[in-house]
Structure 1
Amino acid sequence: MTNPKKKASEVTPEQRLADLIRGLGAGIKLSVAESCTGGLVASRITDIAGSSKYFEGGVVAYSNDLKRSLLGVKAATLKAHGAVSEEVAAEMAAGVAKKTKAHIALSLTGMASPADDTEKPVGTVYIGITIRTTVKKSGERKESSFVRLFNFKGSRKSIKRQSATAALTTLADFLEGL
């Protein structure tokens, strides 16, 4: 848990996220699907002691083949919108939630450096969130998702760091609003 004597500005996004997930109750699970950050988000989540109680794991799906085979991203979505798109971020989050049976899923797909096969600017990053709940009376599973677009500046390494921080902060902000 966060040290109550620490100022809010001293609490890392991953610690804030940990505190919020723990506050939702026992058994709530988080999973991540990363592309442009290459596992950095999962690494930061597991920097927090006790993260094994809520973190199921992550998938680094850098290639489109893995996005399709591991996360269930549709080939038609990739063809129509490209790997760096709102639609792919949404399908990545939904796919990792389904694959890991997590209640909360986070995804990132973006451009950390120039590529020949896209006109999207470097620094374009989509962060997706999927929340899965069960209706108590019927047992029906409900799923809601949203995606947010970010445009970062800097080196490849800087864009990866900014993306990871934005993903953790965006999810924490979302959970704080529940």
Structure 2
Amino acid sequence: MWGRVARVAARPLEHQLADILTRQELTIATAESCTGGLVAHRITTVPGSSAYFVGGIVSYSNDLKERLLHVPREVLERYGAVSRECALAMARGVRATTGADIGVSTTGIAGPGGATPTKPVGLVYIACVTPAGEVCEEHRWDGDRADNIARSAEAALRLAVEMARNVPSAGTGAAS
């Protein structure tokens, strides 16, 4: 037994997020495109998630991005659905629509098709908007569709955990 190093698996991100949101009395909502609801699914696998998970919107079409998430048409026309600007607008929109303290979004090209010369397969933008600030990350995955989706959901949860840690306790909602 001596000399052996015990390997302790890191706690899954959705459980870390649950701890933070519960402790700080915050709520979260998701706006997903390329992940197709996987971020919301992972959040809801934690027992008691109804205490902090307001809901999620899977907005694959630009029409739903406009109508449900209030992404300005100008953003979609100028930058496209796969852009930093769209990801931030989606996160802001889901926060405003649901009243959640935190809005997290994913938009990208999971593959194998859908790429353009300037937007390759694996390009994903993940945004998180809180009362304490906004962040958008760009990722370029090189896996197959399933891998790109899984990695994007993991990155979205990681970003939500990081951002939630910086929000003052006792959520103030989207109106703040």
TM-score tier, shorter chain, comes to 0.7 to 0.9
Aligned-pair distance for 1:177? 4.3
Query: Match for residue 122 of structure 2?
Result: 123
Structure 2 unaligned blocks of 5 or more: 1-6, 168-176
Give the structure, 1 or 2, with the largest relative contact order (CA under 8 Å, sep 6 or more).
2
Compared with structure 1, are the counterparts of its residues 101 and 177 closer, same or farther at alpha carbon in structure 2 (3 Å cutoff)? closer
> Sequence identity of aligned pairs in percent?
41
Query: Match for residue 76 of structure 1?
Result: 74
The two structures have a TM-score, normalised by structure 2, of 0.86
What is the identity, as a one-letter code, of the residue corresponding to 2:94?
V
Q: Distance in 1 between matches of 2:122 and 2:115?
A: 15
Aligned-pair distance for 1:176? 2.8
Partners of 2:82 and 2:108 within 8 A in 1: yes
Query: Match for residue 45 of structure 1?
Result: 43
The two structures have a TM-score, normalised by structure 1, of 0.85
Structure 1 unaligned blocks of 5 or more: 1-5, 133-142
Query: Match for residue 11 of structure 2?
Result: 11
Query: Match for residue 173 of structure 2?
Result: none
Q: How does 1:151-162 map to 2 (within 5 A)?
A: 151-162=140-151
Q: Cα deviation per residue 1:86-121 (whole Å; 9 max; x = unaligned)?
A: 000000000000000011110000110121666301
Query: Match for residue 21 of structure 1?
Result: 21
Query: Match for residue 3 of structure 2?
Result: none
Task: Tell me the SS of whatever aligns to 2:128.
Answer: strand
Structure 1 runs of 4+ aligned residues shifted over 4 Å read none
Task: Work out whether 1:30 is the aligned partner of 2:31.
Answer: no
Which of 147, 150, 154 is equivalent to 1:165? 154
How big is the alpha-carbon RMSD for the aligned residues of Structure 1 and Structure 2? 1.7
Task: Tell me the SS of whatever aligns to 1:10.
Answer: coil
Q: Distance in 2 between matches of 1:149 and 1:116?
A: 16
What is the identity, as a one-letter code, of the residue corresponding to 1:21?
L
Compared with structure 1, are the counterparts of its residues 150 and 79 closer, same or farther at alpha carbon in structure 2 (3 Å cutoff)? same
Partners of 2:102 and 2:164 within 8 A in 1: no
Q: Distance in 2 between matches of 1:40 and 1:63?
A: 17
What is the identity, as a one-letter code, of the residue corresponding to 1:112?
A
Task: Tell me the SS of whatever aligns to 1:153.
Answer: coil
Partners of 2:130 and 2:163 within 8 A in 1: no
Compared with structure 1, are the counterparts of its residues 64 and 147 closer, same or farther at alpha carbon in structure 2 (3 Å cutoff)? same
Q: Distance in 2 between matches of 1:72 and 1:50?
A: 29
